[in-house]
Amino acid sequence: MSHSTEPQATSTESVDTAENRELLTSIVTVSRSIFGAAASSVFLFDQESNELVFKAVSGKGEGLLVGTRFPADRGVAGWVVATGQAVTTADLTANPVFARDLAERTGYVPDSIMAVPVVHRHDTLGVLQVLDPHPQSRSSIADLDLLAMFADQAALSLHILLRDDAARAAGDAGFAVLGRISTLLNGMDAEQRGRGVQMVESLHGILAGMAR
Strand partners, 127: 43, 117
Buried b (16+ CB within 10 A) or exposed e, 145-164: ebbbebbebbbebbbbbbee
State the burial class of residue 203 (Cβ atoms within 10 Å of its Cβ: 0-12, 13-18, 19+). Answer: exposed
The band of 75, judged by pLDDT with boundaries at 50, 70 and 90, is very high
CA 139 to chain centre: 29
pLDDT in tens, 94-153: 999 999 999 999 999 999 999 999 998 888 999 999 999 988 765 567 788 889 888 888
pLDDT in tens, 17-73: 677 788 889 899 999 999 999 999 999 999 989 999 999 999 998 889 999 999 999
Residue 75: which residues within 8 A CB-CB, separation 6 or more? 97, 98, 99, 102, 103
pTM above 0.75, yes or no: no
Structural domain spans, the chain: 6-163, 167-211
Give the dihedral sign, CA 202/208/210/212. negative
Q: CA-CA-CA-CA torsion for 51, 57, 60, 63, nearest 10 degrees?
A: 100
Would you state the pLDDT for residue 181?
67
Q: What is the CATH number of domain 6-163?
A: 3.30.450.40
State the burial class of residue 211 (Cβ atoms within 10 Å of its Cβ: 0-12, 13-18, 19+). Answer: exposed
Give one word for 104, left, alpha or beta, with left for phi > 0 and alpha for psi -120 to 50. Answer: alpha
CA-nearest of 68, 28, 60, 45 to 151 is: 28
Reduced to 3 states (helix: H, G, I; strand: E, B; else coil), residue 39 is: strand
CA-nearest of 66, 46, 24, 65 to 152 is: 24
Asked whether the beta carbons of 45 and 129 are under 8 A apart, the reply is no
